[in-house]
Chain A
Amino acid sequence: MSVTTLTSPALAVRQPGWIVRLFDYKPFLIVMCLAPAIGLLAVFLTYPLGLGVWLAFTDTTIGQRGVFIGFENFQYLVKDPLWWNAVFYSVVYTGIATFGKFALGFWLALLLNNHFPFKSLLRAIVLLPWIVPTVLSALAFWWIYDPQFSIISYLLVDVLHWRSTNVDFLGTPWPARFSLIAANIWRGIPFVAISLLAGLQTISPSLYEAAMLDGASAWQRFRYITFPMMMPILAIVMTFSIIFTFTDFQLVYAITRGGPVNSTHLLATLAFQRGIAGGELGEGAAIAVSMIPFLVFATLFSYFGLARRKWQQGEAND
């Protein structure tokens, strides 16, 4: 490139503008531009990730440097019913919540893809649950699920007379588990809907026109045009959704803190309880690290399970 020939004589002479000219030297400029981002990520992401894996193999506690103990933490976890409980609920939570978010979010996206007045206003309103801090909306859900003053109980008991007693949403394991899943779905719908709406808008209308001419029904148009065309974007959004649902923390911590009787612990809340609140950094790190295999598996499953179906768009499969 011509830049180097322009700058090299200038570098030899130390003029006031030499710093500016140094920035014209491309390799230097590249390094300088990447330094802040890479530096931040290296110090506060890559290094802690490595440190976390190391901690998982030590018996570190708060205030005390630990020693390497091999797989002892993991051997302990495998025998710990609470860890299995958290694994079980994390999988259930992720599975049902992801399914709910995508079913409802896809439906909402299809609805928003129609023409009607105030469309952009509606889109803006629909995104609100995703904008507002999760903990703050979780608190609203906590209040909605209140054992005595739940508005849902009020509707069921006093307005509709479907039940005679209040629902104990958060006091017993399975209702608590489903209450949290419902809150998670509520929060996830907007993001899924808006992302999928973006995908829907990239589908060419001529495909639908051609299908209409061939006499395809609404269901056939969805099944053979919309669905396959949405596969790539579904794969990406679902991969994200699975990762962040599986490692969710705030919602559970804000509403139940893992209770009642530890039935709603996710791996992340269990790791916090043991690692930070309990001071057992090594064990907490081991619980956090134990999420990684599940994450890798879920990511590969969702990404390749969906993205592999490229042949539906007329491309070769693998």
Chain B
Amino acid sequence: MAWDSRARRVMMIYLPLSCFVLILLFPFYWMAITSFKPNAELLNYKEHNPFWITSPTLAHIKHLLFNTAYPTWLKTTMFVAVGSTTLSLFASTLAAYAIERLRFRGSPYVGLGIYLAYLVPPSILFIPLATVIVQFGLFDSPMALILVYPTFLVPFCTWLLIGYFKSIPYELEECALVDGATRLQILRRITLPLAVPGLISAGIFSFTLSWNEFIYALAFIQSGANKTVPVAILTELVTGDVYQWGALMAGSLLGSLPVALFYSLFVDYYVSSLTGAVKE
């Protein structure tokens, strides 16, 4: 009986679960293993087992770091991601505070309006936005991306932070108000420190989302040095008919590492706020 239920558990839970993990992780394994394979092994499946490397090499990564503008792309991407995250956190913290804490007539509608903005997909906006960016003289500048990314970051963060502010008891603010603190003091000394977990998760989401963004960066940036990693890999590294798979995969791997690292540091915040946001 006990054996039966254990076998059943293996078949019903562990087996399918391992298949899921295997399939979900395989492209990353394949990306990683390709990055360290010498070209001879990369293109010869008859003599080498494609799933393993016999003589790993750093040639692809070296090529990427020293013969291409990859370090510049990484720097630009980092700059854009940090810039837009800071801007979005600033704007959405204040907005969430006003909507949830200052409670005015129509505040639920303002909240709904900001939330609806999230449902407008970038694919519909990029053409008119390109003309707006040109009008502002920001075409081909990373500043354009820093200013445009908040359009999808602010709705998301505001929505997330409203939930956090909701969980902070009103009494704390009321006590401070009675004690003669100004509204700004209350925000800075009481509400914000208590909302730190929310700010962290909003920050991680913003950072990963802006690192990930593609269509605006593709449409608004022309010169090689100002490109972000995803766009640059696709437009600058893919040249001609012979693809440099080793370098391409190394580029993808290196480009994924910052987000993966950042994510793994704060993974608990990430998962809990994702589940929390959905529960709302």
Contact = CB atoms under 8 A, between A and B. Distances in A.
B127 A288 contact: yes
A203 B177 CA distance: 39
Given A45-B125, A198-B279, A201-B275, A38 B95 contact: yes
Contacts of A194: 271, 274-275
A312 B35 CA distance: 52
A21 B180 CA distance: 12
Given A37-B154, A131-B208, A133-B229, A140 B274 contact: no
Prevailing SS type, chain A contact patch: helix
A150 B240 CA distance: 19
A272 B214 contact: no
Contact of B91 (A3, A29, A30, A40): A40
A61 B102 CA distance: 46
B150 A276 contact: no
A161 interface: no
Interface in A103-125: 104, 107-108, 111-112, 114, 116, 120, 122-125
Interface in B177-196: 177, 182-184
B248 A139 contact: yes
Contacts of B126: 272, 276, 288
Nearest to B148: A44
Contacts of B151: 40-41, 44-45
Contact of A133 (B98, B219, B255): B255
Q: Which of A24, A32, A141, A291 has the most CB of B within 10 A?
A: A24
Given A40-B151, A202-B279, A127 B271 contact: yes
B230 A111 contact: no
Interface in B1-39: 13-14, 16-17, 20-21, 23-25, 27-28, 30-31, 34
Contacts of A179: none
Contacts of B40: none
Interface in B219-270: 219, 229-231, 233-234, 245, 248-249, 251-252, 255-256, 259-260, 263-264, 267-268, 270
B70 interface: no
A186 B23 CA distance: 8
Interface string B134-153: 00000000000001101100
A51 B214 contact: no
A52 B125 contact: yes
Contacts of A212: none
A104 B23 CA distance: 12
A112 B17 CA distance: 8
10 contacts: A21-B182, A36-B95, A126-B21, A127-B270, A135-B234, A136-B233, A144-B30, A186-B24, A198-B276, A291-B124
Interface of B: 13-14, 16-17, 20-21, 23-25, 27-28, 30-31, 34, 42-43, 45, 50-51, 87, 90-92, 94-95, 97-99, 102, 104, 110, 114, 117, 119-132, 147-148, 150-151, 154-155, 158, 177, 182-184, 208, 211-212, 214-215, 218-219, 229-231, 233-234, 245, 248-249, 251-252, 255-256, 259-260, 263-264, 267-268, 270-271, 274-276, 278-279
Interface of A: 3, 20-21, 23-24, 26-27, 29-30, 32-34, 36-38, 40-41, 43-49, 51-52, 55, 60, 104, 107-108, 111-112, 114, 116, 120, 122-129, 131-137, 139-141, 143-144, 146, 148-149, 151, 154, 158, 186, 189-190, 194-195, 197-199, 201-202, 233, 236-237, 240, 243-244, 247-250, 253-254, 267-268, 271-272, 275-276, 281, 284-285, 288-289, 291-292, 295, 299
